[in-house]
Structure 1
Amino acid sequence: MADDGSAQSQTVWPLPKFYFQVKWDDTELAFQEVSGLDIESEPIEYRAGNSKVFSKVKMPGMLKSSNITMKKGVFATDNAIFDWFNEIKMNTIKRKALTISLLDEGGNPTMVWKVRNAFPVKITGTDLKAEGNEVAVESIEIAHEGFTIENA
């Protein structure tokens, strides 16, 4: 009898990336794209003067995160990202915890990125074209102080 795939383990196939959700506070927004979920360690190069090896030693340094960019369609009464951006007053901003979840086919989170102390640094409105027929898309760029990954 042929294998219909029903007995396969859930770990055989990688997760699709098109079903996800983004939450901050009690707000959930529908974004079209999320990018910038990367973190790196800046290497420190060092060579002691009495080292017999004529090369530098590399060791891990401080962690550096990229800004997260999120894109979404423009809706007539949806101003949540502009409201958050407008809270910036004289170098003060309400930092928020973001939760970005990759969902399975049942809508349950499988991977969750918990972003710490996020705040908006740039909003890009849609471009307008009289001859186009695309959906209006705006984007928000968010700075943060790192994230953790949790697997459900």
Structure 2
Amino acid sequence: MATRTWQPPFAMKQANDPDPFPVFKFWVEIKSIVVAEFKECTGLSMSREPEKVTEGGVNDYVHYLPGRNEYARIVLKHGLADADALWDWYQQGLRDGKVKMINFSILLRNVQGKVVKRWNVIEGFPVKWEGPSLNAESSQVAIETLEIVHHGLVLDRA
């Protein structure tokens, strides 16, 4: 009888595997058009709160069932320039009362510039815009921030 060795349920790093990807090369794409390269992107996160179910007569443990998935707010920061696309997207919902939900992607590139990961954001819309902190004694770049809520995050292994 052949001896079977235990295999982990996930891929282990091999000696010849490439190094992890850097986090400083990414951009946002809407409808296959690169909208902007951003200084920072946070909120690529999701969580699931388990639901507790107690069973009568079972006193030594509690059953856990998967609960609803919840997605963190995505926060995008970039240098303020002539283009006002983020401002316009946020303002559109204020002007006409119709919030425009869009699908968009956040793309991570390797050091050669090749797209290695793509997170597709489902039905996102802005909930907060923040302008730059202005200070006459500073030489920092003016940064605008857009906070976005959404209905899902799908990893597309580019």
TM range (shorter): 0.7 to 0.9
Structure-1-length-normalised TM-score:
0.86
Counterpart CA distance in 2 for 1:80 and 1:101 is 18
1:132 aligns with 2:138: yes
1:81 corresponds, among 77, 82, 86, to: 86
1:151 aligns with 2:157: yes
* Deviation string, structure 1 residues 50-70 (Cα, Å, up to 9, x no partner): 32x343222210000010000
Q: 1:115 to 1:64 in 2, by over 3 A?
A: same
Gaps of 5+ in 1: 1-7
Gaps of 5+ in 2: 1-14
Q: Kindly provide the amino acid, as one letter, of the partner of residue 89 in structure 2.
A: W
Structure 1 residue 27, shift from structure 2 partner:
4.9
Structure 1 residue 38, shift from structure 2 partner:
0.2
1:42 aligns with 2:35: no
- Measured on the aligned residues, the alpha-carbon RMSD in Å equals 1.6
Counterpart CA distance in 1 for 2:97 and 2:55 is 42
Structure 1 residue 106, shift from structure 2 partner:
3.0
Structure 1 residue 73, shift from structure 2 partner:
0.4
Structure 1 residue 133, shift from structure 2 partner:
1.2
Structure 1 residue 48, shift from structure 2 partner:
1.5
The residue that corresponds to 2:102 in the other structure is 96
Counterpart CA distance in 2 for 1:105 and 1:12 is 12
Q: Kindly provide the amino acid, as one letter, of the partner of residue 91 in structure 2.
A: N
Query: Relative to structure 2, which stretch is displaced further, 77-86 or 54-63?
Result: 54-63
Aligned residues: 142
Q: Kindly provide the amino acid, as one letter, of the partner of residue 42 in structure 1.
A: E
Query: Relative to structure 2, which stretch is displaced further, 60-69 or 27-36?
Result: 27-36
1:106 aligns with 2:122: no
The residue that corresponds to 1:3 in the other structure is none
Structure-2-length-normalised TM-score:
0.83
Q: Kindly provide the amino acid, as one letter, of the partner of residue 52 in structure 2.
A: E
